[in-house]
Amino acid sequence: MLRGLRRLHRFEKRILEIAKKNEKLVKIHQYGFSRKTSNGFRFPIYALSIGKPAALKKNPVGIVAGVHGLETIGVRILLDFLYHCLDNPDFFPELHKGKLGLLAMPMVNPGGVALRRRSNPAGVDLMRNSGVEAVRSMPFFGGHRASKHLPYFRGQGLEPESRTLYRFVFESFFHVKNSLVPVVDVHSGFGSVDHVWWPYAGTKDPCRDHQLFEAMGRFFKIQAGHSLLNFGPQSESYTTHGDLWDLFYDHYYKLHEREKAWKSKFLPLTLEVGTWSDLKESPGKIFDRKNIFNPDGERKRETIQRYRKFLRDLFRVALTKEKDWQVQ
């Protein structure tokens, strides 16, 4: 518990520092609380808004991390990206000049970070928690309701962390007019390659923006130089119950289905950082459940910084129009 708490406080300190150091451009909001731990602790969930007010309203983009408490590499990638953007105005001038605004929820599951586990303090895997039923999910790993003492537990009803993320996404992105709205959720996992997934996780049916996502994937991979990333719908890798982005994505289109002139698109993506290559170099890590999902040392710094350009390029999608992505 102690080591996890120390880590949580280190992350919180950095989140507060980002806001304090950049008072003009950054606002911090406390968006909600985690579930209580068994000894009565609950932890605040923060959001940061970065950019000029008009840009945050008109052209927002989003990044979240720390949905799974063990995948702290995602939190580090997110914080590194924010520091880098704020310290180097030339790296992402659009952010400083008011062309777009960035909304971040750096640690969705602070209780999981403190307790050093994947789930929230109630034992619920938040990425199995949305209530969406998969068409055919992987047994066990795809989510179950057998016991909160087993991993991948779906829970009953939305957990406070899931509701907080839902409200953040709804308030930040669902009413944006005439814009593409990319939102990325950073995870890490057991594999040798990095993935960028779009909906759905729960079915192999293509989502309504499948072609747009495919065109973006091709662009990033071939033209923008992100050739090591693998793009595809999440269900191509595996199918799970209860993915939160499946719920948000469907809700977004349900909300706007009657508005014929609705031009915006909500584009949720999951960046899954593969950490398998580190395992091969230090096979002992396989016995340390915390470290399976997190590369170590020098490599960690390299891993964290590797995604800066991709995230920036992805967020620049907000400055394009849908027709820019149509194949000739």
Q: Which residues bind Zn ion (CB under 5 A)?
A: 68, 71, 187
Using CB atoms, what's the residue nearest to Zn ion?
A: 187
Tokens representing 175 are 């009413």
SS3 83: helix
CA–CA distance, 16 with 23 (Å, rounded to integer): 11
CB of 71 to Zn ion, least distance (A): 5
Contact residues for 44 (Cβ-Cβ < 8 A; gap 6+) = 12, 30, 32, 33, 34, 110
Closer of 101 and 274 to Zn ion (Cβ): 274
CB of 185 to Zn ion, least distance (A): 8
Closer of 71 and 194 to Zn ion (Cβ): 71
CB of 67 to Zn ion, least distance (A): 6
CA–CA distance, 15 with 159 (Å, rounded to integer): 23
The 10 Å Cβ neighbour count of residue 85 is 24
Tokens representing 300 are 């960690």
Closer of 44 and 151 to Zn ion (Cβ): 151
Closer of 71 and 243 to Zn ion (Cβ): 71
CB of 188 to Zn ion, least distance (A): 7
CA–CA distance, 126 with 267 (Å, rounded to integer): 20
- Residue-wise DSSP of 10-66: HHHHHHHHHHHHTTTTEEEEEEEEPPPPTTS---EEEEEEES-HHHHHHSEEEEEE-
Closer of 68 and 285 to Zn ion (Cβ): 68
CB of 271 to Zn ion, least distance (A): 10
